[in-house]
Amino acid sequence: MFKGSIVALVTPFKGEAVDEAAYRKLVEWQIKEGTSGIVPCGTTGESPTLSAQEHGRVVEICVQAVQKRAAVIAGAGSNSTAEAVAYARHAARVGADAVLVVTPYYNKPTNKGVYLHFKAVSEASRVPIILYNIAGRTGKNIEPEVMAKLAQDCKNIVGVKEASGSLEQMLRIKEICPKDFILLSGDDALTLPILAIGGTGVISVAANIVPKDVAAVIENFNKGDLKRAQEINLKLLPLIRALFIETNPIPVKKAMELMGLCNGALRLPMCDMEEGNLVKLKEALKTYGLIKG
């Protein structure tokens, strides 16, 4: 279930509220384009600025719109263990297939604290848990040895979205974690090499605008057509670089607005792109053929 192209879906806004109609349209488009799974309320979905009520509602909308046609992996992360537990319980209650739980951020717990945090969420969750390791945002890496202990002690902790950027660390995860422990890329630019070391897919930002091509990289790799996977991957790389020219999800939301997919409105402290970066993003979109010159 947790493989292929899984989109970390943006949360469209209309005024001060979540644009529920636009969200449903995005879900429908993703499924038609071959997306295997959807993550509501992740980093790309601006979860830090969603209220608890909005967070729950977005997960509910996603589950209702997907209708079991793809996996729903609900964001349930927090730097408060009690809040992460509440999000995980709610996600299970409304029908999500799994939860994605990020390392506690800002408070920088010890390795023991990281273990106890995820263990507490595991004990409260009735659905599988995918760890989310992104030290560049959280300030704390989940060490492979901690992952291995969690996978051994908590049977519903089934995998990790790895955004450490370290293939060496990911190889260590494959080495010491259970054979069925799922490794998902958390960096669009590293999806192909992560597949090569045993990854099963990606939780993708780029899939918000090019879902078919992100899925095609994985599909071609899996059927043994490495040359075609490499060709699509090389085509994607300049676009991926443009999508991270400023902090995610600023560029991808602007790209979606330019493509007519949804309103590009952001919530502070996310803000409009610098003009120079916007020019570069537009050029990348034009080169890829996503907007007209």
Residue 192 parent element (H or E): helix 191-196
Catalytic residue among 87, 132, 149, 254: 132
CA 69 to chain centre: 18
Q: Whats the size of the chain, residue-wise?
A: 293
- Residue 274 carries which DSSP code? P
- Catalytic: 282? no
SS (H, E, C) 234-265: HHHHHHHHHHCCCCCCHHHHHHHHHCCCCCCC
Residue 212 belongs to some domain of the structure:
yes
**Alpha-carbon distance 224 to 90, whole Å?**
40
Mean pLDDT over each residue of the chain, to the nearest integer: 97
Pairing of strands 13-14, 129-133: unpaired
pLDDT at 17: 97
pLDDT at 293: 75
Q: What is the pLDDT of residues 84-102, one digit of tens each?
A: 999 999 999 999 999 999 9
pLDDT at 1: 77
Q: What is the CATH number of the domain that holds 78?
A: 3.20.20.70
**Alpha-carbon distance 282 to 289, whole Å?**
10
- Catalytic: 132? yes
Q: What is the pLDDT of residues 191-236, one digit of tens each?
A: 999 999 999 999 999 999 999 999 999 999 999 999 999 999 999 9
Residue 77 pLDDT exceeds 80:
yes
Q: What is the pLDDT of residues 138-157, one digit of tens each?
A: 999 999 999 999 999 999 99
Tokens 């009690």, located at residue: 82
**Alpha-carbon distance 218 to 222, whole Å?**
6
Residue 11 belongs to some domain of the structure:
yes
Residue 42 belongs to some domain of the structure:
yes
Tokens matching residue 143: 């060490």
Pairing of strands 17-18, 157-162: unpaired
Q: What is the pLDDT of residues 8-33, one digit of tens each?
A: 999 999 999 999 999 999 999 999 99
pLDDT at 35: 98
Which pTM does this prediction carry? 0.96
- Domain residues for 153? 4-223
DSSP-assigned letters across all residues of 78-145 = -SSHHHHHHHHHHHHHHT-SEEEEEPP-SS---HHHHHHHHHHHHHH-SS-EEEEE-HHHHS----HH
Residue 101 vs residues 18, 74, 276: alpha-carbon distances, Å = 22, 9, 35
Catalytic residue among 23, 115, 149, 161: 161
Number of domains in the chain: 1
**Alpha-carbon distance 115 to 103, whole Å?**
10
